[in-house]
Structure 1
């Protein structure tokens, strides 16, 4: 992700944006103004000065430029308080659009949104590589084709796509957009950001899917207003994201949050984990279904996570026992992480985590009560298509700060 603006993982807290005095100052300060207008609604210029800490002259100059570019609109006058009513300006979410892409192991979802992450048009494709000898290339070409078609469609409207962000189930280098490790896609050391930029002619950011889930919940969902949050995504695999001090913590190599590789016992040290990690081999959906098969002689063809949840809710003995094991493993993981990190909130998301939150959340709370010094709040994720919303937010940060193209 090679842009001049602050990376998303450094700006999860939107209550106050950092400013700068170096050559990137205008871009950073523009982002600070736009974020305030996005989150707080129409503001007077004096309120923008007070919130951002910028000088009156700087705010006036940047606001005038943003009005010229269409990103900011005149919004009337404030109610009089004895003097001349203050001029109000507001954010114009329809001035530009962005493209968000969410990649799964067998599907691609794409959406063009405005600058408030409201969907304008969307498209989804199922991916079945079949006998293709190069499934990684096949998957990339399908992604690029879907993205190009959405960009082309948006070009016929009043707000063409200005930036792109991609959610990937793997380890991503945040500074380059290179996918280092995404085994479900058979992508290893793939320069996805650069390849898409070349194909689309647009700036592209690439990020881990759980980090984008956390970004979406931080800005729109269960984690709004929080500063220290652990988000855990339960699905085919298990991943996590850390928001610390209001910003996303990615680690030295961008791989923080690979919680699926948590080792849960001494026996875990004698087993290599080249694919699924120890935790996700137990509480990922494949692991849960394997546990069910050990307890049940004949599961119907196509038995999946929804069927498992249905049995657990109905009190089925085998499903209830497996769910209890999942709760124990998940409680050990959350308890250890909470003791180390002291988050104020744990959010359970992902396809299975969100669907099973009503069962998992109270059960984990009970298991951890009295076992660790400070038990964090635990809740289920709120948002459907959270990764897509997070990708839109990431692209919005890039598009809103970029200058308008010459006309």
Structure 2
């Protein structure tokens, strides 16, 4: 595996430089005045932060054609030069890898998928290396350096250490994935929980842009939750903040793989729904698509399975709203294919369990394909790149 085409270091990644760059990345093009207002920085601080970014080509200036004519220097806008650097993002599921090549603005240039027949760490690393090799070949057609690789994995992931502490769908424990992938690919690597990575992308470019606080709840094989509080993605002291899937909503409910009973995930996760559907209907149900079909066909008891799942999700979301008071809850994930079956019960349970004005939280659905999750992995690689002190590798 070749090393990155060019060694690349972000210029002077002080907090102010990173803050201004992220502000322009999410909301630009902006005037310096508006960038300072959004970032909470003085004009002098913005000017100082912008200077090295312009010199290194990470920001560019354009005339503000909509500005009113004023005496003196004409108004200019600063924008991120997306062509300045490239990034790779890989989303790891239990059955396949999804990879993307993005520019510095996290716009997808190319995406690839590869089946994952073997979940052992060594086999997964070999598959990741093959995908990276393929995307690097395309990146070589550009003069821009590939400045980082992000990998998104479900479960308990310690981003600071680059270690997957526990991933139930891969059956991994304490895998130093960032170190292994960096050695294999020659790239700086950032590893994060897949839902947190998607949350970063939604905060910068999606339905969470401009919000000081929101929650992203994902429904699928597991039930995940990413949290943004006061403009920051929250990981918690041990990297497991937002584990809504393991909020207990029914102490007498089914056993969860975490060891507790009645967790949201034990009721509303795909495997839980499939198992419950077999039990209730007496039919052979092998996957979620068959479970959805039975519910749509009106098989007795099938819709109640989804109603029960919706109630568990609604209660879990209400717990988040009561504790943190987010402006918005975004519901996404592959489980949205069945959203019509449990949407009403989610809303009912949320409204009933949310305390006071927490019930006014905006709840919206946003179907996102796995390529967008891989884009989230690229987003955390960009985030690491613009905040990492010079000379220190990610992961």
Counterpart in the other structure of 2:347: 365
Contact 1:79 1:85 in 2 (8 A): no
Residue 169 (structure 1) aligned with residue 154 (structure 2) = yes
Shift of 1:341: 3.1
Q: Which sections of structure 2, spanning at least 5 residues, go unmatched?
A: 1-10
> Which of 2, 7, 28 is residue 41 of structure 1 equivalent to?
28
Counterpart in the other structure of 1:89: 78
Counterpart in the other structure of 2:6: none
Q: What CA distance in whole angstroms lies between the structure 2 residues aligned with 1:136 and 1:349?
A: 28
Please identify, of 380-389 and 285-294, the stretch whose mean Cα deviation from structure 2 is larger.
380-389
Shift of 1:368: 3.8
Contact 1:99 1:392 in 2 (8 A): yes
Q: Which sections of structure 1, spanning at least 5 residues, go unmatched?
A: 1-23
Residue 298 (structure 1) aligned with residue 283 (structure 2) = yes
Shift of 1:254: 0.3
Deviations along 1:171-226, one digit per CA (max 9) or x if unpaired, are 11121111111132232111111122222222211110111222223333333333
Contact 1:233 1:350 in 2 (8 A): yes
TM, length-normalised to structure 2: 0.83
1:189 is paired with a residue whose SS is: strand
Shift of 1:73: 2.2
Counterpart in the other structure of 1:220: 205
The within-5 A match list for 1:246-325 is 246-267=231-252, 273-274=257-258, 278-279=262-263, 280-299=265-284, 303-325=286-308
> Which of 332, 340, 351 is residue 323 of structure 2 equivalent to?
340
> Which of 312, 324, 338 is residue 356 of structure 1 equivalent to?
338
TM, length-normalised to structure 1: 0.81
Contact 1:228 1:345 in 2 (8 A): yes
Q: What CA distance in whole angstroms lies between the structure 2 residues aligned with 1:306 and 1:72?
A: 46
Shift of 1:48: 4.5
Q: From the superposition, tell whether residues 317 and 73 of structure 1 become closer, same or farther in structure 2 (CA, over 3 Å).
A: same
Contact 2:13 2:387 in 1 (8 A): no
2:347 is paired with a residue whose SS is: helix
> Which of 101, 104, 109 is residue 93 of structure 2 equivalent to?
104
Q: What CA distance in whole angstroms lies between the structure 1 residues aligned with 2:282 and 2:32?
A: 70
Deviations along 1:247-290, one digit per CA (max 9) or x if unpaired, are 22211110122332233334369x68447974222211111111
Contact 1:235 1:351 in 2 (8 A): yes
Q: What CA distance in whole angstroms lies between the structure 2 residues aligned with 1:49 and 1:219?
A: 17
Q: What CA distance in whole angstroms lies between the structure 2 residues aligned with 1:150 and 1:277?
A: 43
Counterpart in the other structure of 2:184: 199
The within-5 A match list for 1:37-186 is 37-48=24-35, 52=39, 59-60=46-47, 62-76=49-63, 79-129=68-118, 135-186=120-171
Q: Give the aligned length.
A: 374
Q: From the superposition, tell whether residues 174 and 142 of structure 1 become closer, same or farther in structure 2 (CA, over 3 Å).
A: same
1:116 is paired with a residue whose SS is: coil
Q: What CA distance in whole angstroms lies between the structure 2 residues aligned with 1:44 and 1:246?
A: 21
